[in-house]
Amino acid sequence: MRWIALLLLSLSAAAVADDTAMKLAAQLKVAPKDVVPAEVPGLYRVTLGPQILYVTADGKYVLRGDLIQVSDGRNLSAEARDAARAAFIAGIGEQDMIVFGPPHPRHVVTVLTDIDCGYCRQLADEMPQLVQAGVEVRYLAFPRTGVDSPSWDKAVSVWCARDRRIAYQLAMKGNPVAAPDPKCDPRPVLAGYEFAHKLGLDGTPAIFTEDGHLIDGYVPAEQLVKLLDAPALLAGASD
């Protein structure tokens, strides 16, 4: 009978946790699925788009930071952030990206890029090396100077071009970019821009692996391939 009592106790605790999560979701104005009990009793993990934070069960305090599991050194918060970013990128979709890649890629990276960024141009020059090495490169626009700036207008023109891939390659080689058509829909550029701002990023390029890990800044193509091929190396690259 003891096991029945333990089962009922665990079910009761789960019901309380679910009820608390629902209340916190309503308080924070997020979907119920985005609030779950954290590994620390009394804390709940909240997914806010591509970011995560922790909130106490009474909803009075919010924590931002890394939760480390002492037994094995796992960064539980980093794992959750990676998953949140990967899900957010999947929600944007390739329709708002410029994609270069082999037919059967070994790796996929998503890059926040700015046409007026020197390191972004350097990465674009090396992009054929990445494709040859089996890496699919998907670009999202992040004109760092903001909406209605010259960089924004260039991004809108490129993302609205009949052939985005050709327009992007020409722009990244320093060729003049025509003013955007007033009828052009800027939403694909806004998708990347809002993603960057939700993450609090202010620099480019920002490279995301397929599982959402962030490599913040330019990495030469040869080194990037090595990182993608070696998850242990990648874990220490950035976050």
Query: What CATH number did the domain enclosing 41 receive?
Result: 3.10.450
Mean pLDDT of 90-102: 96
SS3 153: helix
8-34 CB burial, b ≥16 within 10 A, e <16? eeeeeeeeeeeebbebbbeebeeeeeb
Query: At which of 65, 82, 107 does a domain end?
Result: 65
Do both 99 and 161 map to the same domain? yes
The pair phi, psi for residue 157, each rounded to 5°, is: -60, -45
Domain residue limits at 110? 94-235
Is residue 35 over pLDDT 60? yes
| DSSP element (H, E) containing 126 | helix 118-132
Q: What is the pLDDT of residues 149-192, one digit of tens each?
A: 999 999 999 999 999 999 999 999 999 988 888 888 999 999 99
| CATH assignment of the domain containing 231 | 3.40.30.10
CB-CB neighbours of 100 under 10 Å = 18
Q: Report strand pairing: 51-56 vs 43-48.
A: antiparallel
pTM equals 0.86
